[in-house]
Amino acid sequence: MKLTNWLNVKDRFSQSVLTNVYNYFNSDSPEYMNELFSIAGQNGPKTRFSYNKLTIPRRKTNAGLRSLSYIGPSTWNKIPNSLKVSKNLTSFKHNVNTHFLHEKGK
């Protein structure tokens, strides 16, 4: 049996979301994306745990749990900081791909 380095649909979707957030942090995203995300610690105390983290918007109902403004920060905050500081977009995508594949191997 030959193994492929393809991500399943859920992980591929997460990689696409993470690519948008990476572009936001590197000022490569469209202007409307600036309204979707807010960096943790911008409006309050910044701690060592808020490094490269986004604020997850509070939801009183399930409405909006599938929006990019919610999924983006939730997914971004779960990945290790070593992925977040990739040199460029190509290496970021490769590192995220590798991260998800190793996560499945556990």
Kind and range of the H or E element at 24? Answer: helix 9-25
47-70: average pLDDT: 79
Q: Which two tokens stand for residue 92?
A: 């970021």
Give this prediction's pTM: 0.82
Phi and psi torsions of 39, nearest 5°: -75, 135
pLDDT tens for 82-102 read 999 999 999 999 999 999 998
